């Protein structure tokens, strides 16, 4: 890395080298049986330079080929965007722990046993269900170095446990599933199977939904599948800079219901979404986005922040292998005061949404969503009576979150990027074939 940096600073005003290496082991079950054991090793080195004031960029997996890497970065810099930022000089980072040695030492046998536990528990509860399961562990090592003396290095361990079940009757298909992840080993299969068994219980009976506006409770999974994507785009500093964010000119204004609090937090210890610094070496911080319903901040990387006359929030991310761009680390929604049972009791006729398929395909910028209820339940007179199908729920995130009936008192991590309680909306449009 030092060599690449030295060579790059010979031809450019500024240079930054970003190296990732990872190793992951996955145990996979298909159709209730152990099927694959995989090991994946990967390394890459990315070079960003500022040459004659413009940004150049190249990435390679060939660590020995620094000459080509530097040449490619120089070539692209002819056309690159003018650099408006300064790379960070040496800085101190918050102590965010993301590495547990225990994770690495979980044996493949233990991983297989965990997977088998998942499957026997679910198939034991519901005979005929066909499951896929995965147990994975891995280590990622990240190193950043720049021409201003900035340096960062950290390691992250991760462990993942998940199961998806598919139950078929005639042509009727039911999909259930749950996963859990941590930097620590997740050795309790119950964390996952309890949720799946509950889904199976609630889905046992069929119920029909009418076509009209109904109150809707989004479970944490439901919040993730229906409501979060538009917000992630809207609070991205880049969307704001372009004037395409519906909340872009609403700083300080009450856009959402007073009960809503939302922030981005990469500093929670031992979460796979956490890190001491972002992918540009800017220290991690907790960034409030919505407080009491009012918009308080947007997420920035260095370049976007400079263009917007703001400061980087430490959200520069290279998740797609390209130049850093603003991206959330993990969205956290604060718990409220109503528990799920109380929400259900409050509803005369309505739905509980666990999974809304295809909700992220509409006009995301505008906040419109519309999806098929892949997993959801009907509520009648304060009780869940069964699963609904052939039903679409549509709405607009900004309207739905402006007037919230209640926010759940317990939060839950979903898919590693969101921690949220249940959210209960008074009225959304439902179209159903019954």
Partner 1 sequence: MTIEAVGQELSEVIKRHDADYVEAHLEESQTSHIIYRGRELESIGRSTAIGGNVRALVRGGWGFVSFNNLDELPSRVELAVKQARFVGREVSKLAAAEPAVDVVSVETDRNPVTMFLGEKKQMLDEYNDIIWRTPEIQTSTIGYADSRKKTIFLSSLGSYIEQERADIVLSLAAVAARDGDVQQVGLSVGSRGDFSPIQSLHQRVAQMAQHVVKLLSAPQVKGGEYTVVLDPVLAGVFVHEAFGHLSESDFVYENDRVRQIMTLGKQFGSKQLNIIDTATIPGLRGSYKYDDEGMPATETYLIREGKLVGRLHSRETAAKMGEKPTGNARALNYRYPPIVRMTNTYIEPGSVSFEDMISDIKEGIYAKNWYGGTTSMEMFTFSAGEAYMIRNGKLAEALRPVVLTGNVFTTLKNIDAIGDDLEMNQGGGCGKGGQVPLPVANGSPHIRIRRCLVGGK
- Print the binding letters for residues 252-291 with partner 1: x by CB under 8 A, - otherwise: ----------------------------------------
**Pair of tokens at residue 313:** 């929030």
Q: Under rule CB under 8 A, which residues in 196-225 are in contact with partner 1? A: 211
Q: In the complex with partner 1, which residue's Cβ is closer, 288 or 366?
A: 366
Q: Under rule CB under 8 A, which residues in 13-32 are in contact with partner 1? A: 30-31
DSSP 196-251: HHHHHHHTSSB----SSEEEEEEPHHHHHHHTHHHHHHHTBHHHHHTT--TTTT-B
CB of 392 to partner 1, least distance (A): 4
Residue 251 binding partner 1, by CB under 8 A: no
Q: In the complex with partner 1, which residue's Cβ is closer, 223 or 397?
A: 397
- Triad 43, 45, 47: Cα angle to 5°: 170
Q: In the complex with partner 1, which residue's Cβ is closer, 152 or 240?
A: 240
Residue 321 binding partner 1, by CB under 8 A: yes
Per CB under 8 A, which region of 117-125, 139-147, 339-347, 426-434 contacts partner 1?
426-434
Residue 173 binding partner 1, by CB under 8 A: yes
* N residues, the chain: 434
Which residue from 93, 99, 175, 270 is in contact with partner 1, where contact means CB under 8 A? Answer: 175
Residue 431 binding partner 1, by CB under 8 A: yes
CA-only gyration radius of the chain, Å: 24
Residue in the block written with tokens 């990240």 = 142
Which residue from 9, 123, 285, 372 is in contact with partner 1, where contact means CB under 8 A? Answer: 372
Residue 433 binding partner 1, by CB under 8 A: yes
Which residue from 13, 172, 349, 403 is in contact with partner 1, where contact means CB under 8 A? Answer: 172
Rounded Cα gap, residues 177 and 111, in angstroms:
18
CB of 124 to partner 1, least distance (A): 18
Q: In the complex with partner 1, which residue's Cβ is closer, 32 or 297?
A: 32
DSSP 239-298: HHHTT--TTTT-BTSB-S-TT--EEE-S-STT-TT--SB-TTSPBP--EEEEETTEE---
Q: In the complex with partner 1, which residue's Cβ is closer, 73 or 183?
A: 73
CB of 387 to partner 1, least distance (A): 13
Whole-Å CA distances, 376 to 222, 356, 418, 423: 9, 8, 20, 14
Q: Under rule CB under 8 A, which residues in 55-84 are in contact with partner 1? A: 56-62, 65, 68-69, 72-73, 75-76, 78-81
Among candidate residues 204, 215, 207, the one with its CA nearest the CA of residue 349: 215
- Measured in whole angstroms, how far is the alpha carbon of residue 255 from the centre of its chain? 23
Residue 40 binding partner 1, by CB under 8 A: yes
Whole-Å CA distances, 323 to 57, 75, 351: 7, 15, 42
Rounded Cα gap, residues 129 and 164, in angstroms:
10
CB of 37 to partner 1, least distance (A): 4
Which residue from 35, 67, 311, 383 is in contact with partner 1, where contact means CB under 8 A? Answer: 35
Query: Please, are residues 373 and 414 in contact by the beta-carbon 8 Å criterion?
Result: no
At a CB cut-off of 8 Å and minimum separation 6, what does 259 contact? 293, 336, 404, 406, 407
Which residue from 188, 194, 201, 242 is in contact with partner 1, where contact means CB under 8 A? Answer: 242
By CB under 8 A, how many residues form the interface with partner 1? Answer: 76
Per CB under 8 A, which region of 9-17, 89-97, 163-171, 282-290 contacts partner 1?
163-171
Which residue from 41, 92, 101, 319 is in contact with partner 1, where contact means CB under 8 A? Answer: 41
Residue 399 binding partner 1, by CB under 8 A: no
Torsion of CA 318, 321, 324, 329, to 10 degrees: -20
Residue 141 binding partner 1, by CB under 8 A: no
């Amino acid at each position: 890395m030092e060599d690449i940096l030295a060579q790059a600073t010979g031809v450019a005003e500024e240079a930054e080298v970003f190296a990732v290496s990872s190793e992951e082991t996955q145990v996979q079950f298909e159709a209730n049986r152990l099927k694959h054991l995989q090991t994946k090793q990967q390394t890459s080195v990315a070079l960003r330079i500022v040459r004659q004031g413009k940004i150049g960029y190249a990435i390679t997996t060939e660590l020995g080929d620094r000459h080509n890497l530097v040449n490619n970065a120089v070539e692209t810099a002819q056309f690159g965007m003018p650099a408006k930022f300064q790379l960070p000089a040496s800085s101190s980072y918050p102590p965010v722990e993301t590495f547990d040695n225990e994770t690495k030492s979980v044996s493949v046998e233990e991983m297989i046993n965990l997977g088998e536990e998942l499957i026997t528990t679910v198939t034991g509860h519901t005979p005929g269900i066909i499951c896929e399961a995965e147990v994975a562990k891995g280590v990622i090592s990240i190193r950043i170095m720049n021409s201003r003396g900035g340096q960062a290095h950290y390691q992250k361990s991760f462990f993942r446990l998940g199961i998806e079940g598919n139950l078929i009757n005639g042509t009727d298909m039911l999909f259930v599933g749950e996963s859990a992840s941590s930097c620590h080993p997740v050795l309790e299969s119950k964390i996952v199977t309890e949720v799946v068994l509950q889904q199976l219980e609630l889905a046992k009976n069929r119920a029909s939904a009418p076509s009209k506006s109904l109150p809707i409770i989004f479970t944490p999974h439901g919040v993730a599948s229906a409501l979060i994507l538009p917000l992630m785009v809207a609070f991205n500093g880049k969307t704001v800079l372009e004037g395409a964010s519906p909340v872009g000119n609403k700083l300080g204004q009450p856009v959402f219901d007073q009960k809503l609090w939302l922030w981005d937090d990469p500093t929670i210890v031992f979460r796979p979404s956490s890190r001491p610094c972002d992918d540009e070496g800017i220290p991690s911080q907790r960034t409030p986005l919505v407080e009491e319903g009012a918009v308080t901040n947007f997420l920035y990387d260095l370049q976007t922040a400079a263009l917007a006359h703001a400061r980087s929030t430490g959200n520069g991310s290279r998740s797609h292998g390209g130049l850093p761009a603003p991206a959330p680390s993990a969205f956290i929604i604060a718990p409220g005061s109503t528990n799920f049972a109380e929400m259900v009791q409050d509803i005369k006729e309505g739905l509980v949404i666990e999974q809304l398929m295809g909700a992220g395909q509409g006009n995301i910028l505008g906040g419109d969503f519309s999806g098929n209820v892949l997993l959801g339940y009907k509520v009648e007179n304060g009780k869940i009576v069964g699963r609904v199908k052939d039903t679409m729920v549509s709405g607009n995130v900004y309207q739905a979150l402006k007037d919230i009936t209640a926010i759940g008192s317990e939060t839950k991590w979903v898919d590693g990027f969101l921690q949220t309680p249940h959210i209960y909306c008074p009225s959304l449009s439902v179209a159903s074939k019954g």
